[in-house]
Structure 1
């Protein structure tokens, strides 16, 4: 491995509107993958914070002002010329202002997660598009599953033991998954863990659910988020811990937080 490659930090923004749609733009002529659709963003300059870079890039490219944003997923790509650390930030509908302008001659479009109509998309965006379909407001329990809504309508996750062919999203505990030796056949697989040691074992999942029942586990979630997570992390926590840590977890990049008083595992 070439250890002399530079380390480049890049930010991209998931800008949402009041209908839950996300903003995509095409790459302008003269850039690699010209005409492909992506989430806007760019390189973090020396001495610049990630949020400041996000704000600058959206002002330069699309003419809108980002007031606040929160980190979401982190991807690391190794190239021959550099190692790229790419952080995606979520920008809610009330957190940006201005009128969108195609300042680089690009196209732009509002798209519904789970129902994208523009193409071609950048190849690396496939996992992101699927992750965006996962609701950020969820309810339910491990033994019965979770439910919520996204821009396409109702969304349900069913325990693997109860799943039927029509169920697209299934929930399974990491020990059971390890015993099976392979992922269930489903559109998305949510894997439940309860300790940091299991985190490396679930990176092929579509969503990780971290069950938190004490402060040690709550702090472990904070540490994992500080390092950056590559897949949506849903925190399922005992109610008092959920109330105490919810803001911190979400600010660190958790996809959703669910308060739960059950102790059994899937």
Structure 2
């Protein structure tokens, strides 16, 4: 009999909450940190040296709790990608590749080319054989009639098929809106499909997924809906009610599955 799916999150500074995870039980880490581009993240708007020192602290903890052979996905803005790579290597991760998410519909920019992509470092913790399933991440409509992946449909590292989430009257059902408004609680909320693709590629059902900077719960939803257990931390207490409501809905989803 398979182990029951667990859904755990804790409100608090992840650097103080990591000790809740005993040993190295985590199979995959997904993190979309604040990008520190002159925007506040619940008091996180540091100088660049402070920002990357903070990153190194939580990334070290991610490495510590990840199983040997486990994978980690670290997003960031192009401006931070080079320095983030240095931090990743310094804590012991091996970089396997780079994923480019083409968001489309860029924000307006003056006197520069508008940025239309976000980047993801795809990493592993060396030590054991790593799990990776390209079969799982191909959308069903792209498969052959026998259900297998055709030779022309492989999961390449530039993802152009996942639109970014938007506020207003065009908001997708998964968008978390501020009550009685058309504004997003978290303007940079990620699509579940993006995180789900990582989950399916790097974990098996029942594995444990971690997001130490949880936000409004995208990683939690993506992992649990695919039969994975989840643990995460979120520093902003304003998100607790949102996350608790999502956990209730996910438990209902599990009960019906």
Q: Is the TM value for this pair above 0.5?
A: no
Q: Report the TM-score, using the length of structure 2 for normalisation.
A: 0.27
Pick the structure with more helix per residue. Answer: 2
Q: Report the TM-score, using the length of structure 1 for normalisation.
A: 0.27
The structure showing larger relative contact order (alpha-carbon pairs under 8 Å, at least 6 residues apart) is 2
